[in-house]
A and B are shown apart, each in its own frame.
Chain A
Amino acid sequence: MAVVQKSSQIDAPTDATSQTNWGEWFIEGVIKVAGISSIVIIGLIFLFLLREGLPAFLDIPLRQLFGTRWYPIEDAFGMAPLLAGSLIVTVGAVVIALPLGLTTAIYMGEIAPPWQREILKPIIEVLAGIPSIVLGFLGWIALAPLIQRLGAPTGLTAFTGSLILAYMSLPTIISIAEDALYAVPKEYRGGALAIGATQWQSIWRVVLPAARPGLVIAVMLGIGRAIGETMAVMMVTGNAANIPSLGSGIFFQPVRTMTATIAAEMGEVAQGSLHYSTLFAIGIVLFVISFAINWLAGRLVGMKGMRRSRRGGML
C-alpha cells in the first residue's frame, strides 16, 4: 500500500509556485494515511476473521468446539488438542530459547570483547535470515531421528518442534535483548563497579533490572514468533490431534498445533462449510492469543514498551 502511495507522490504535478505548501500538505497526508492504514488493516483483518469464523461459534456448541476430538471430516471440531499442542510446543520453545537468548545477549552486550561481537552479530543476523521451512527440513531429516534414538516412541514430537522454534526465535530475542542492554547508560555500570561490585554483580543487580522492559519485549516477541510459526512445525511435530498425556514425557509425544491445522486443511475445505468457518475460528483464537501476548507485554513494561511491541508479534 505504501508503495503505491509513494509512486503516486512522484507522479503528482509539482507546480513551482505552490510547491512548498502543496508538497507539504501532500506529504503530511501521505504520512497520515500510511500511519492510519495499518490500524485500518488490522481492523479489517479482524472483521474478516470474525465474519468467516463466527458461524463456527454460533453453529457448534461451545462445549463441542473446545472438545477433545478433532476429526473434521466426521464433523468432530474439538479444538482442545490443537490448543494444547500449540501451548506445549510454544512453552517448550520459550523454555529452551529464553536462557539461551538472554545469556547470549548478555555475553554479547556485556562480556564479549568488541572483535567477538563483530563476529557474533552478523552470524546471528544470518540465523534470522534462514527461511523457517529450511529449519523445518533440517528438523525432519536430522533432528527427528536423533530424538527417536534418545528413546522417544517417534522422532516427530512436540520437543522437536520446540527445538526448531527455539532456534527460530533466538535471533529475535538476542537482538532485541542486546538493544535493551545497549540502551542502559554506561554510568550505571561505572557506578556499580566504582562502589566495589564485581562485573557479575553489576550485570545481575544493575544492568539487567535497568534493561528489564526491553528484555520482556524481547521474550514476548520471541513467543509471538513461536506461536505463529507454521510450516516448520507441521513438518516435525507429527500432527496427531491427541490430548497429550501429562507426565514426564509430555514434551516427547506428537502434537498438532493450531497453525499447522489451518495450513494442512485450508486447501481442501469447501468455502462456507462448517469446517471452513472452524478453521477461521482457530484463526480468531490465535489472533486473540497473540493480542493477549502483546497486551501483556505492554502491561509488564508500561507505555514505553507498548510502543515498541508494535514492531511485530502479530501473526
Chain B
Amino acid sequence: MRKVRAIEFVSLLASLMILVSACGRQPTAANSAGDGGPQRAIQNKGSDTLVNLALAWAEAYRTVAPDVSIAVTGGGSGTGIASLINGTVDIANASRAMKESELEDARQNGVEPQEYTVAIDALAVIVNQANPVSQLTIDQLADIFTGRVTNWQAVGGNDAPIILVSRETNSGTHVYFLEEVIRQGDSENTDVFAPQTLLMPSSVGITSEVQRNPNAIGYDGLGYTDPAHEKLIAVAKNAGSPFVTPSVATGADGTYPISRALYMYTTANPDTTIAAYLDWVRGPEGQQIVAELGFVPLSPP
C-alpha cells in the first residue's frame, strides 16, 4: 500500500512537472519563431463556391510566404460577410457583392469594407446524363425554376416531372441565380424559386442528386461540376441568340450568359501581409490556380 502510494505520488509529481515545463515553454517557442519574422495567421471565411479555390490559394501561398498561414473556412457568402462585420475574420469570401444593408451594418460597426474581384465564376445548369434536353434559354430556365413548367416535355424532354435542386438561401449562388436567371436582372420582378425546390446544404448535395436522379435539374459553379458525370446545359440569353456551353473560355469572353464575379472583402487599408496575399491572388500565379480549378481567371494568364 505504502509503495503504491509512493509510486502514485512520483508519477503525479512527474506529470505536474511536465505540465509546468510545457506551459513555460510555449511562449519561448513563439519567440523563437518570431526571430525569423513573425508567424502571421490570416482568417479567411465565406462563400462555399470559393472555398476550394481559397484553399488552393492558401496552400500554394505557403511556398511563397512560409511564415504566413491562412485558415480557410466555408459557410456561405452571408456568413463570411457577417464575420467580417463582426471583426472575426481578416478576409471574407463572397460569390456576390455586398448588399447595401450589409454595408450599413459594417459602417455601424466601424468597418469600411474594401472589395477585390478575385475570379470569375460561370454558373453551370446541370441535368442527369440520361436527360435528352441539352439546351435551354434563360426564359425557359426561369419558367422551370419558378414552377411554371413542371414537366420535361414542355422544354423538349421526356414526359417526366421536373425535380428542382438548388442551394440553401444563405448561399450567394442561390441569390445570384434568383436575381439573374429567375428574375432576369429585373428588380421589379418578385418571382421566387418554386416551393417544391430541394434546398441542398452543399454543392455536393446538388451534383449527387443530379447524378442519380434522371429528372433533376440543378445549378452550380462551373468549378464544381463534372462533365463526365453530369450534363452541362447550353444556355441562350433569349430565343434568338446562340446556345453557349459553359466553360472557362466562354466565361472569360463573356459569351456565356450566366457568369459572375467572385469577391474577397477586407477592412479598409489592410495590413501589408493581407495586401501582399491579395496581390498574389490577383496576380498571374493566383489566377493560374483559378483556371486549374475550373473557374474563369480575371485576365487570360
Flag if B199 contacts A148 (CB, 8 Å).
no
B215 at the interface (CB under 8 A from A): yes
B161 at the interface (CB under 8 A from A): yes
Binary contact readout A191-234 vs B (1 if CB under 8 angstroms, 0 otherwise): 00000000000000000000000000000000000000000001
Flag if A240 contacts B196 (CB, 8 Å).
yes
A240 to B209, CA, bound (A): 14
Q: Using CB atoms, name the residue of chain B closest to A243.
A: B195
Classify chain A's interface size. 20 to 34
Flag if B215 contacts A153 (CB, 8 Å).
yes
A69 to B196, CA, bound (A): 11
Q: Using CB atoms, name the residue of chain B closest to A70.
A: B195
Contacts of A119 in B (CB 8 A): none
Contacts of B94 in A (CB 8 A): none
Contacts of B169 in A (CB 8 A): 71-73, 265, 268
Flag if B79 contacts A71 (CB, 8 Å).
no
Flag if B209 contacts A234 (CB, 8 Å).
no
Flag if B168 contacts A265 (CB, 8 Å).
yes
Task: Decide yes or no: A270 and B197 within 8 Å by CB, A71-B192, A153-B215, A154-B216 being known contacts.
Answer: no
Flag if B198 contacts A254 (CB, 8 Å).
yes
Q: Using CB atoms, name the residue of chain A closest to B102.
A: A270
B78 at the interface (CB under 8 A from A): yes
A270 to B105, CA, bound (A): 9
User: B107 → chain A, closest Cβ, in Å?
Assistant: 14
A254 to B212, CA, bound (A): 16
B299 at the interface (CB under 8 A from A): no
User: A239 → chain B, closest Cβ, in Å?
Assistant: 4
Flag if B170 contacts A267 (CB, 8 Å).
yes
Contacts of A70 in B (CB 8 A): 195
Contacts of B200 in A (CB 8 A): 239
Flag if B190 contacts A73 (CB, 8 Å).
no
Q: Using CB atoms, name the residue of chain B closest to A69.
A: B195
Contacts of B294 in A (CB 8 A): none
Flag if A268 contacts B76 (CB, 8 Å).
yes
Flag if B170 contacts A264 (CB, 8 Å).
yes
A145 to B212, CA, bound (A): 7
A241 at the interface (CB under 8 A from B): yes
Contacts of A74 in B (CB 8 A): 190, 192
Residues 262-290 of A contacting B (Cβ, < 8 Å):
264-265, 267-268, 270
Binary contact readout B71-94 vs A (1 if CB under 8 angstroms, 0 otherwise): 000011011001000000000000
B163 at the interface (CB under 8 A from A): yes
Residues 169-209 of B contacting A (Cβ, < 8 Å):
169-170, 175, 190, 192-193, 195-201, 205, 208-209
A267 to B78, CA, bound (A): 8
A242 at the interface (CB under 8 A from B): yes
Contacts of B196 in A (CB 8 A): 240, 242, 253-254
B213 at the interface (CB under 8 A from A): yes
Q: Using CB atoms, name the residue of chain A closest to B202.
A: A235
A35 to B201, CA, bound (A): 40
Flag if B168 contacts A239 (CB, 8 Å).
yes
Contacts of A265 in B (CB 8 A): 168-170
Task: Decide yes or no: A256 and B199 within 8 Å by CB, A73-B169, A239-B168, A264-B170 being known contacts.
Answer: yes
A256 to B169, CA, bound (A): 13
Contact partner, B79, options A144, A242, A267, Cβ 8 Å: A267
A235 to B168, CA, bound (A): 12
In the assembled complex, 20 residue pairs joining A and B whose CB atoms fall closer than 8 Å, in A order, are A71-B192, A74-B192, A153-B163, A154-B209, A155-B213, A239-B198, A239-B199, A239-B200, A240-B196, A253-B196, A254-B196, A254-B198, A264-B201, A265-B170, A267-B75, A267-B76, A267-B170, A268-B78, A268-B79, A270-B82
Of all A-B residue pairs in the complex, the 4 with the closest CB atoms, nearest first, are A268-B170, A268-B78, A239-B199, A238-B198
